[in-house]
């Protein structure tokens, strides 16, 4: 029976926080099975961290505990502004000024500059006489904010107060938000799922989606980046709405909106609320219930892997029963769907893992069944100090089965039929498959006739439970034998290993059936890898759980022929384009089609593979022979090469394509 851990047990086992576990699920490094985790998968991650093979992931894991801070200087317009932000943040920290009080005083600073506060005398500012405020909306905002963070009195003779109110703040569109982000600990941002969104990304999400009278919402508005972008198009500020659970951020967003519409007196429609906790009740005072089916456009950068207390999570799960993964960005997509008008549009910043990780098949199925995806833009690693690759996804409420999705990948733009996603296993969004890839895939499918599905045995490597205890570097004992890990695998053959073990299965945490390890012939492959890497083994070798086992059983297909295909550029291209995963998964490999082969084909490939096992030489001959078997022309071959970021090598080979058997 499989050993399963709860999230808390998994976090303890890996010596990380439960938030990090949530983040790793979000990024596709871990798979949750009804919020439980397989021990072997945890062991792989633990080994990788200990060996330093995924140092960046280890840093990411510790981020939620981090007390480090950083200034989002790439979002600031000038070096002078960066210097001033550093100066003001240093002053706040050095004088131990509370964040909410510091931000409040800096807001007063800005309102005095714009003339919304008409007096320069601090005692008159804090007396809250209405005639000292140009707009009632500003007065109400400042008055309410002040009484929430103070006892109703302030020492306006205090030098710290005067310093912050009089400081010459730089002109930046969201200067308070930048300062707030700079003060927050990195761990606080991770727990909130909160990171600053680049200005150009914000603008691209909003541009072209608004009319001057549109009613718009950011359900996770933070300090108001998207709110300010709305304001560039919307004439009436009362049509702009924002929700957020962070009261400090909400006050900054209100300030930003009031500063933008300087000639209009209004009350900002921005609320401190958890927009996931409402929407299914009959409470007419429920903000989210009140605005269901209301908005023309919703856009946000929702929290990814946000941490909720147990009570809150239960309530959210009850609101969104279709989401089994408990992923926060999935909840926000569902809630935004409810708040949109029919044919309204939402446009979200999301981790790329939403497109291809099995855990997120729930939200993919929700989107495909209720919405029309209009556009997906692949952005790569876009956020400072965030490892994840990022996409944006524009979705219309309501289905249109004839629609095509525009995918933008750098300078490459192409269309994908949404029905293709629906037909994929686990509703995979194979966004990297463009029109040229589609045509190549059709040719591959036409030529391909068999697969490993139901025609292969698979096994995980050994989970010892304590590698330090069971793995040794000494091999002097006659009862000890070599054991291979993922880093010992290269294409076609195993490297020499310096890891050894006494193989006593009952001592270990998890062991596959012994006959799988002791098979007379088998393939061993890297489980965590950006490429397909398979090695041949006829020595009945043992493997750790970063090195898994495949025993092909396709009738008439020799094992070395199967390995030749699996290591080929053709299979690597198919796997990367279709699945784009760093985990080599059985279910994905089983979908790649092998072509029909004659005995001459098999003999030729076997001979090439034997040479590669012996010499680990260039695979050019093998790759081009396999291209020929799929009837791929030169332009298609060059496309595959360029897709793998490999320069196409125009070198002479012994046989021309026409001479291949």
**For residue 566, what is the domain's CATH number?**
3.90.220.10
Q: What whole-number distance in Å separates Cα of residue 137 and Cα of residue 643?
A: 56
Arithmetic mean of pLDDT, 125-141: 93
Contacts 24+ apart (CB under 8 A), 93-101: 93/183, 95/160, 97/160, 97/164, 98/149, 99/180, 99/183, 99/184, 99/248, 100/149, 100/247, 100/248, 100/251, 101/149, 101/150
Residue 286 lies in a domain: yes
175 shares its domain with 245: no
Question: Does the structure show a pLDDT above 60 at 22?
Answer: yes
Task: Tell me how far CA of residue 341 lies from CA of 106, 131, 217, in angstroms.
Answer: 38, 41, 12
50 shares its domain with 79: no
Closest CA to 573 of 456, 388, 434: 434
419 shares its domain with 560: no
- Which CATH number characterizes residue 310's domain? 3.40.50.150
547 shares its domain with 478: yes
Question: Does the structure show a pLDDT above 70 at 582?
Answer: yes
Looking at 158, 181, 204, which one is the last position of a domain?
181
Residue 528 lies in a domain: yes
Arithmetic mean of pLDDT, 565-593: 93
Residue 478 lies in a domain: yes
Arithmetic mean of pLDDT, 274-278: 80
Q: Which is more confident, 387 or 205?
A: 205
Q: Which residues of 324-342 are buried (b: 16+ CB within 10 A; e: fewer)?
A: bbbbbbbbbbbbbbbbbbe
Task: Give me the DSSP letters along 163-185.
Answer: HHHHS-----TTHHHHHHHHHS-
pLDDT in the model for residue 40:
62
Q: What whole-number distance in Å separates Cα of residue 47 and Cα of residue 68?
A: 26
Looking at 65, 86, 117, which one is the last position of a domain?
65
Q: What whole-number distance in Å separates Cα of residue 543 and Cα of residue 524?
A: 8
pLDDT single digits (tens) 380-415: 877 655 667 899 999 999 998 788 999 999 889 999
Q: What whole-number distance in Å separates Cα of residue 137 and Cα of residue 432?
A: 49
Measured CA angle at 214 (ends 209, 216), to 5 deg: 80
Write the burial class of residue 350 (CB in 10 Å: 0-12 exposed, 13-18 middle, 19+ buried).
buried
609 shares its domain with 534: yes
- The separation between CA 174 and the C-alpha centre of its own chain, rounded to angstroms, equals 26
Q: What whole-number distance in Å separates Cα of residue 660 and Cα of residue 645?
A: 26
Q: What whole-number distance in Å separates Cα of residue 460 and Cα of residue 34?
A: 21
pLDDT in the model for residue 21:
75
Residue 448 lies in a domain: no
pLDDT single digits (tens) 38-62: 776 676 666 555 444 444 444 444 4
Lowest mean pLDDT among 142-156, 236-250, 439-453, 615-629: 142-156
pLDDT in the model for residue 626:
94
Write the burial class of residue 309 (CB in 10 Å: 0-12 exposed, 13-18 middle, 19+ buried).
exposed
pLDDT in the model for residue 1:
43
Q: What whole-number distance in Å separates Cα of residue 148 and Cα of residue 141?
A: 11
pLDDT single digits (tens) 164-201: 999 999 998 899 999 998 888 544 544 454 567 888 89
Q: Structural domain tally of the chain?
A: 4
Residue 152 lies in a domain: yes
378 shares its domain with 312: yes
Residue 447 lies in a domain: no
Residue 437 lies in a domain: no
pLDDT in the model for residue 656:
32
422 shares its domain with 304: yes
160 shares its domain with 228: no
Specify the pairing of strand 522-526 against strand 534-537: antiparallel
Arithmetic mean of pLDDT, 332-336: 95
Q: What whole-number distance in Å separates Cα of residue 635 and Cα of residue 309?
A: 55
244 shares its domain with 307: yes
96 shares its domain with 15: no
168 shares its domain with 211: no
Count of positions (residues) in the chain: 661
Residue 484 lies in a domain: yes
pLDDT in the model for residue 58:
44
118 shares its domain with 28: no
pLDDT single digits (tens) 87-96: 999 999 898 8
pLDDT in the model for residue 185:
56
Looking at 395, 414, 430, which one is the last position of a domain?
430
User: Is the torsion defined by CA of 489, 494, 498, 504 positive or negative?
Assistant: positive
pLDDT in the model for residue 6:
84
pLDDT in the model for residue 658:
30
Quote the tokens at residue 531. Answer: 């490429």
Specify the pairing of strand 4-6 against strand 295-300: unpaired
Question: Does the structure show a pLDDT above 70 at 68?
Answer: no
**What's the number of CA atoms in the CB half-sphere (13 Å) around residue 261?**
26
Domain hosting 60: range is: 4-65
Arithmetic mean of pLDDT, 237-255: 96
Other Cβ atoms less than 10 A from the Cβ of 384: the count is 14
pLDDT single digits (tens) 421-430: 999 999 999 9
Quote the tokens at residue 292. Answer: 């269901």
Q: What whole-number distance in Å separates Cα of residue 3 and Cα of residue 636?
A: 45
pTM assigned to the model: 0.80
């Amino acid at each position: 029976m499989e050993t399963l851990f709860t999230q808390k047990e998994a976090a303890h086992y890996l010596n990380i926080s439960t938030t990090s576990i949530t983040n790793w699920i979000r990024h596709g490094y871990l798979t949750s099975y009804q919020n439980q985790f397989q021990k072997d998968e945890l062991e792989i991650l633990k080994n990788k961290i200990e060996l330093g093979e995924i140092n960046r992931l280890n840093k990411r894991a510790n981020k939620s505990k981090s007390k480090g801070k950083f200034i989002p200087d790439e979002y600031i317009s000038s070096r002078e502004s960066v210097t001033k932000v550093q100066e003001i943040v240093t002053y706040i920290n050095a004088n131990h000024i509370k964040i909410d009080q510091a931000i409040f005083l800096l807001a007063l600073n800005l309102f005095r500059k714009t003339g919304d506060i008409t007096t320069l005398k601090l005692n008159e500012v804090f007396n809250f006489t209405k005639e000292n405020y140009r707009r009632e909306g500003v007065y109400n905002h400042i008055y309410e904010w002040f009484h929430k963070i103070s006892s109703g009195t302030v020492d306006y003779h205090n030098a710290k107060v005067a310093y912050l109110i009089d400081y010459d703040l730089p002109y930046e569109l969201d200067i308070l938000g930048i300062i707030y982000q700079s003060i927050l600990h990195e761990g606080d941002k991770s727990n909130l799922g909160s990171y600053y969104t680049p200005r150009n990304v914000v603008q691209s999400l909003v541009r072209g989606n608004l009319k001057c009278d549109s009613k718009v919402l950011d359900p996770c508005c933070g300090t108001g980046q998207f709110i300010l972008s709305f304001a560039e198009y919307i004439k009436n500020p009362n049509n702009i709405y924002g929700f957020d659970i962070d009261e400090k951020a909400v006050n900054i967003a209100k300030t930003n909106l009031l500063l933008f519409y300087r000639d209009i007196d209004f009350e900002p429609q921005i609320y401190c609320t958890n927009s996931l906790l409402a929407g299914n009740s009959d409470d007419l005072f429920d903000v989210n219930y009140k605005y269901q089916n209301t908005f023309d456009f919703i856009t946000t950068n929702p929290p990814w892997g946000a941490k909720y207390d147990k009570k809150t999570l239960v309530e959210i799960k009850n609101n969104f029963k279709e989401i089994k993964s408990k992923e926060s960005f999935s909840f926000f997509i569902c809630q935004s769907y409810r708040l949109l008008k029919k044919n309204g549009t939402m446009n979200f910043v999301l981790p790329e893992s939403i497109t291809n990780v099995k855990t997120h098949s729930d939200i993919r199925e929700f989107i495909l069944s209720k919405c029309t995806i209009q556009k997906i833009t692949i952005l790569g690693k876009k956020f400072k100090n965030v490892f994840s690759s990022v996409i944006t996804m524009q979705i219309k409420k309501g289905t249109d089965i004839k629609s095509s999705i525009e995918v933008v990948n750098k300078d490459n733009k192409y269309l994908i039929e949404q029905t293709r996603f629906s037909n994929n296993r686990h509703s995979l969004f194979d966004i990297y498959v463009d029109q040229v890839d589609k045509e190549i895939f059709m040719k591959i499918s036409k030529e391909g006739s068999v697969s490993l599905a139901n025609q292969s045995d698979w096994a995980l490597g050994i989970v010892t439970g304590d590698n330090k205890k069971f793995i040794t570097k000494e091999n002097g004992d006659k009862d000890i034998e070599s054991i291979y890990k993922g880093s010992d695998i290269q294409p076609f053959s195993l490297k020499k290993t310096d890891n050894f073990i006494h193989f006593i299965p009952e001592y270990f945490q998890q062991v596959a059936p012994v006959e799988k390890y002791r098979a007379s012939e088998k393939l061993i492959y890297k489980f965590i890898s950006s490429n397909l890497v398979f090695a041949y083994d006829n020595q009945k070798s043992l493997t750790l759980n970063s090195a898994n086992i495949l025993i092909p059983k396709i009738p008439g297909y020799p094992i070395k022929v199967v390995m030749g295909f699996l290591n080929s550029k053709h299979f690597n291209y198919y796997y990367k384009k279709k699945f784009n995963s760093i985990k080599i998964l059985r279910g994905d490999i089983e979908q790649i089609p092998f072509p029909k082969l004659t005995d001459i084909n098999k003999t030729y490939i076997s001979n090439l593979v034997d040479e590669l096992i012996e010499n680990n030489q260039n695979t050019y001959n093998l790759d081009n022979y396999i291209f020929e078997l799929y009837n791929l022309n030169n332009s298609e071959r060059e496309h595959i090469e360029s897709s793998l970021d490999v320069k196409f090598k125009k070198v002479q080979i012994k046989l021309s394509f026409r001479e291949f058997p």
